[in-house]
Structure formats: C-alpha cells, structure tokens
Structure 1
Amino acid sequence: MGTECGRDRFFTWEEVQRHCSRTDRWLVIRRKVYDISEFSKRHPGGARVIGHYAGQDATDPFNAFHIDKTLVNKYLKSLLIGELAPDQPSLESWKSKPATEDFQELCALVERANLLKPNKLFFAGLLTHLLLLDAAAWLTLWYFGTSLIPFLISTALLTIVQGAPASWWNHLHFQHHAKPNCFRKDPDINMHPIFFVLGKKLSVEVGKQKKKYMPYQYQHKYFFLIGPPALLPLYFQWYIFYFAVQRRQWVDLAWMVSFYIRISLTYVPLLGIRDFLMMFFLVRFMESNWFVWVTQMNHIPMTIDHDQKEDWLTMQLHATCNVHQSLFNDWFTGHLNFQIEHHLFPTMPRHNFHKVAPLVKSLCAKHGLEYQSKPLFTAFADIVHSLKDSGELWLDAYLHK
C-alpha cells in the first residue's frame, strides 16, 4: 500500500503497475495516481482506450486525446488517490526521459502556435468539394443516362464522397492511436491470427504454437481477395449499425438512416432498385479497397508486437511511417500520408501536419529514432512484402520449431 504523508498518499511504480487488471486499474498522469477502475466503464471514449494504460504513465496520451483539459480535470479530481513518491521518477525506468521531455516541449510549442485549431475556411472548402462531387454524380446520370460509362463515373464520384459515423470511428480509431500495432489493444490488427499473421515476432509465436487457421504462407496472395475488397461491404456495413444501437448513439443512427433515405430517393428514380443496389455495393467495394490500402500502408509493414509499454514518441515511431508529400498524395489519402504527425497529435487538423513535420523530423534525429517516409506505391507494395515475410516466418516456425 502507499504511504501517507498528511492528506497525501505516495506510491511507487511497482505498486501502480500491479493495478492493471480488468477490474482494478490505476494510471499516472503528471505524477498523480488515479484509480479508474469504476470510471473506465463511464469513460466517454470507451473503457478500452483508457484501460490500455492501466498500470502505466498516461500523461502523453492524456494530453494527445483531450482538447478541453479544464473540463477533463473536473473528472480527474474525484479519481485522484495520491501521487508518486518523491524518490520515484516521473516515467517508468525503461522509457526515454529525454525524448519524452523534448516531445512535451514540442507539444507546448504546437499549442502556442495554434496548430491544434482548425482553419474553418479549409474545412468549408472540403465540404464544398464533397458536395460538388455528390452533385456531379447525380448530374452525370441525369444528363448522360444510365448506360455503363455514366454509371461507372457516378459510382467513382460517390466513392470519394463516402464517410463513416463519428462516434463509431472515434471508438475504434482512438484505441488504435492509443496503442498502435499492439496485439489485443489495437483493433486494426484484430485479424491476427485468424485471417493473417502479422509482424515478425507474432507470426513466429503463432507458428511455434502450431496454429493454422489459414494457409498463411499464401496470405500475401489471398489478401487481395479477403482484405481490401471485403472489409467495408461485409463487415463495416452492418457493424456501424450494431455499434450505434449497442452504444445508444441515437444521433449517429438518425444521420445514418437519413443518409440511406436520401441516397435511395436520389438514385432509385434514375436507376431503379436493382441498379441502385448494384451501384451502392460497388461504391462500398471501391471504398473498401481505398480504405484498406491507405490506412494499412503506414502500419502493416512496421513493428507489430505485444504492448512493449514504450514512451509515446518511441511507440508511435515504431508503429507508423509516412508517405511523401505531394498535392495528389495529400488529396488521395486525406492527409493520412502524414501518419506520424497524425499519431503524435491525433486532434491536430490535417491541414497543419506539414507545418509540424519538420519539427518532428528534427526531434527524431536528435534521439536516434527512425522517421520513415516513402513513395505511395512503395508503401502499397510494402504491405504485400511484409505479409509475405510474416507468412514465411510462420511457416518456418510451424514446421521446424
């Protein structure tokens, strides 16, 4: 138990680290120790994302995810149970104190420079761009008819316009940001090891355990069949509704229903029910291909492992890489080519990534952390190469270890 000094209770890191189970969770923010065991169930961001830091220092992720810290601190007061003893370091012993301190200085600079504030004109332009594409898709069919070429052009335009409910996206995406490429913590790698074996270490583990759910030595080939084409039409399409009902996100549910009503009323009179359904699922199919290639090019080729409890900067650099900046790459990826900056500053508006990138590069160089950036099609190819390498590692371990 922690020792008491007046009204304060002091704890060691060893004591904090023992509280990391599903029902007993402590974490540290700015040397203060909080018991989140009960609160995690009511956490607005979900129990999982906050639970990923149970028994650990959570200062940097706390700062990264919460914009209105004054409001959040009101919740924290009731959860405070003490602080780290004066002889305890602010970080766990295996984390890099110099890198963490320099990154926190960079965060302070980012805030002073207002790089976390959105440019309303930029997002107004983005909305206008999407509305114009939406209108162009309908006008193409209305003016040129519903033959094959206009049909395909309209489908391509609608694919660019598609999106996802904010609450569902944040629920999964914040977990991914909190512990990227960490097995059992990052939902983006939940396909391991059922459909794919991922990473050099995890693939060998599965091989040694003699697990074979799929012929993983061929995963770089069947990826083209069950990866990009199937994720949105066969999984996300129904899961977003399940999530909205399960989490009682009635506003999101209402917006989704209104979207399906609007798109049906817009296109069924032009296409008929059969061709409309064909267009809708073709849009989802194309969107799924885009989504998987663009989101996974920054992560699948990187380190994938169990949670190594690294400091925020090191963890994000090991799990993410960038794609070279260009007008096309920025537009085509929705600025996800700046994946490193997106992960380090998840609430930063996308139009500011290029401004902070040189500062992040300089920080990485100072601390010997690799800042990877590559061409777009190299990044796509690296997904396939990494799957092939992981499959071969699994096969070798499966047969010989």
Structure 2
Amino acid sequence: MPGPDDEVVSAQQRYASLYTDLLRTVRELGLMRRRQGYYFTRFSLVLAALLAIAAGMILLGDSWYQLLLAAALALVLVQVAFLSHDSAHQQVFDSPVRNDWTARILAGAIAGMSVSWWRNKHSRHHAAPNQVDKDPDVQLDAIAFTPGAVAKRGRLGQWIAARQGWLFFPLLTLEGIGLHSSSVRHLLRRDASRLERVEAAVVVSRISGYVAALYVLLPVGKASAFLGLQLAVFGLCLGAAFAPNHKGMPLVPAGMKLDFLRRQVLMSRNIRGGVLTDFALGGLNYQIEHHLFPSMPRPTLRKVQPIVREYCELHGVNYTEVGLFTSYRIVVDYLNNVGLRARDPFDCPLAAQLRSISPPVGSRLSPESSA
C-alpha cells in the first residue's frame, strides 16, 4: 500500500511531466530551431535605419525637423533593445558565445545599456515572475505592488502611490534615463568583473560620444530637445512593450512553490494582434510562450501559441490573452487598486487558486534550459 512519501513523489512527477511533455512535443516539431535568416534581416534593417538617421541629421543641420529624427532614432533603438534581448536569451545563434557578444554589442555599443546588469535582473524575473520576494520587477522604487509597500513609503512616496495608475505611463518617459543610469551604476561598482569593466568602457563611451556629437552638430537648445525627446520616446515605447506582460496578473506570495508551467503561464499575459503588434512589442506579446521557452526564436512564438493554448486548456491551466489597450486599462486599474483603494493583490480568486494547486513543498520543475 503506497505511503505518504510515495504520494509526494507521484505528485512531483506529475507536475514535472506537465511541462516536459509539452517541451518534448515542441522539440519534436522542430520549433526550437534557430531562425538566423530572420535575425540577419532584422540586423541589416536596423543598421540601415541607423545609418539613414545619421545621414539625415547631418544633412538637416540646424533645424527643428531634427526632432522627427529624434523620435525615429528612439523607435529604432527600441528594436535594437528587442534584438539584444533575443540574443541574450540564446535565440539567434547555436553558439552561446556568439549570442552573448551579439547581445553585448547591440545593447552596449548601440543602445548604451549594460547586458550584465539586465541579465542579472531579467534572469531572476524569469525564474520567479511576479513573486514578491524574488522578482525584481515587482520590487520597483517608483511603483508599489502591495499595500504593504505603500505603507513603508514616506509622504511623497504615498502621494505618488495614490496616483500611480494614472502616473504610470508618464513615468515611462523617464525609463530611458533610468536604464542608462542603472547600467552605468552597475558597471562602475567596485567589485565589477574584468568583462564588466570592458563593458563599462563601451557603454560610457557610447553615451558620452552620442551626447557630445549632438551638441557639436546642433545648437544647445535643439540638441537638448533632441536628446530629451529621444530618451522620452525610447523609454515610453520600451516600457509600454513590457508593461502588459505581467502587471495586473496575480502576485505570488513569498515562499510559495509552484510547478514551472503554472508559474510561467498563470503570471503572464499575452496580447492579441497581428504583424504590427508583433513588431511594436518585439514578440513580447507572446509572453506566455516566451516564458515557457525562453530560447525559442521570436518568429516561432506565433506558431507555438495554438499548441500551448490548447495544452493549457486540456490541463485546466488558465491562459490569459487580451487586446493591447485592454491590457493597458488592466495595468492602470490594477495599480490604482493598490495605490488608491489599498486592495491587496493576493485577495483575489486566482491567488486562492494558486494556493490550492501548489505542489508539495520541495517539488521543483526544471525549466527549458535544463529539461
């Protein structure tokens, strides 16, 4: 007669196979194969756009039409950030080294951001999305995700928290400055590795060289306007691409253990749309599939989505997909629920469901990289 230990082992195997069976199917269909032709085309288009913008800036000279190029540059740099994200996730090449250096060049030399800083933060997010004690994306200084976080703030912080839903998108215009600043602080810390010191030289040279070139090419007023608009549009577009993915989805209480498939699916949200949505959000609109298969090439995410959705329906796992503007409304309302009405995000039916479906303590599920 099976004992309690046998039941725990059986439950762990059942939860583990839930993801590994799906992963096996995806691999057998060849959906993890690299799409280098797609990425080389993207790299070429981005490089051509950057060269065209640089040429346009030189030809325009002292003109307020430069602000149009500032906005265009911001949009192209958003695409650079998406490509760096894909490379850092090992989506482009079979070689981890080539992926790593591609990500570093795109982020550091072109976008002026640190892959080392981003990877440290982003890896923790992927490991435990929306878990309050582990995910750095729900431990932000500017945004409060629980009433407890609001209570710890001073008067100014509480004033901002009470309006954070409405302030969220205006605050995203500062995200570009925040990304550059966080990157530089991380790279210039005392215990930085040798590779990070090299990366620091690249990132600092890119930022300072870019700013210097603007003020050499344009009068102070126009150069300042160009820089301000470019950073604002860059931060807004990049932040608006990441915002719908997890914000407003259930938060996982500290210490809670979930199997890998439910951890990734229940805390992620997909965005419906076509080719334009895919382009504007850099494939992050397939957030569920991206979290389940982080190294899957971006253009394959659309193909695997019906398989994942049907699999989740078969096993009773809630699969969330909404339109883009609906997702933004959810984000704003969620933040207002915390900031204005002090609603605890754990007090919701899905959070209770998460508690009831949690596997036995100690059970783990290997993610794609180790499955």
TM-score band w.r.t. shorter chain: 0.7 to 0.9
RMSD value over aligned CA atoms? Answer: 3.0
Q: Which residues of 2 match residues 115-264 of structure 1 at below 5 A?
A: 115-148=31-64, 150-162=65-77, 163=81, 164-191=113-140, 195-198=142-145, 202-203=146-147, 205=148, 213-215=157-159, 216-225=161-170, 227-233=171-177, 235-246=178-189, 247-248=192-193, 249-260=196-207, 263-264=210-211
C-alpha distance in structure 2 between counterparts of 1:211 and 1:306, whole Å: 24
Partner of 1:107: 23
Q: How does 1:21-100 map to 2 (within 5 A)?
A: 87=6, 89-90=8-9, 98-100=14-16
2:277 partner letter: N
Contact 2:18 2:261 in 1 (8 A): no
Larger strand percent: 1
- Please tell me whether the aligned partners of residues 117 and 349 of structure 1 are also in contact (alpha carbons under 8 angstroms): yes
SS at match of 1:320: coil
- Within a 5 Å distance, the mapping from 1:384-395 to structure 2 comes to 384-394=332-342
Q: How does 1:254-293 map to 2 (within 5 A)?
A: 254-260=201-207, 263-264=210-211, 267-272=214-219, 275-293=222-240
Figure out how many residues of one structure are paired with residues of the other and give that number.
301
Aligned 8 A contact 1:136 1:154 in 2: no
SS in 1 for 2:172: coil
The CA distance in 2 between the partners of 1:396 and 1:259, in whole Å, is 43
CA distance in 2, matches of 1:251, 1:283: 26
Summarize the Cα distance change of 1:305–1:197 in structure 2 as closer, same or farther, 3 Å threshold: farther
For 1:376 and 1:115, the matched residues in 2 are separated by: 26
Which amino acid is the alignment partner of residue 344 of structure 1? L
Write the deviation string for residues 336-380 of structure 1: whole angstroms up to 9, x where unpaired.
Answer: 101111111112221111121111101110111111111111112
User: What secondary structure does 1:214 align onto?
Assistant: helix
1:375–1:146 Cα change, 3 Å? farther
Give me the TM-score of the superposition, normalised by structure 1: 0.67
Unaligned runs of 5+ in 1: 1-12, 14-85
Do 2:271 and 2:323's aligned partners in 1 also have CA atoms closer than 8 Å?
Answer: yes
Instruction: Tell me if the contact between 1:99 and 1:367 (Cα under 8 Å) persists in the aligned partners.
Output: no
Whole-Å separation in 2 of the counterparts to 1:245 and 1:112:
45
Distance 1:265 1:112 in 2: 52
User: Unpaired runs of 5+ in structure 2?
Assistant: 82-112, 346-371
Q: What is the aligned partner in structure 2 of residue 358 from structure 1?
A: 306
> Equivalent of 1:375, from 281, 301, 323?
323
In the alignment, the residues of structure 2 paired with residue 176 and residue 355 of structure 1 have an alpha-carbon distance, to the nearest angstrom, of 25
Query: Residues of 1 paired with 2:164 and 2:17: CA distance?
Result: 41
- Judged with a 3 Å threshold, the aligned counterparts in structure 2 of structure 1 residues 378 and 111 are, in CA distance, closer, same or farther, namely same
- The amino acid of 1:335's aligned partner reads G
- Taking the aligned partners of 2:292 and 2:222, their CA distance within structure 1 comes to 44
**With CA pairs under 8 Å and 6+ residues apart, which has the higher RCO, 1 or 2?**
2
Letter aligned with residue 229 of structure 1 = T
- The residue type equivalent to 1:237 in the other structure is H
1:210-231 deviation digits (Å, cap 9, x = unpaired): 9874133322223344x31223
Q: Note if contact 1:302-1:319 (Cα within 8 Å) is conserved in structure 2.
A: yes
2:205 and 2:149 mapped to 1: Cα distance? 44
Residues in 2 aligned to 1:348 and 1:129: alpha-carbon distance in whole angstroms = 22
TM-score (norm 2): 0.72
Q: Equivalent residue for 2:268?
A: 320
Cα distance in 1 for partners of 2:131, 2:344 equals 23
CA contact (8 A) 2:75 2:233 kept: no
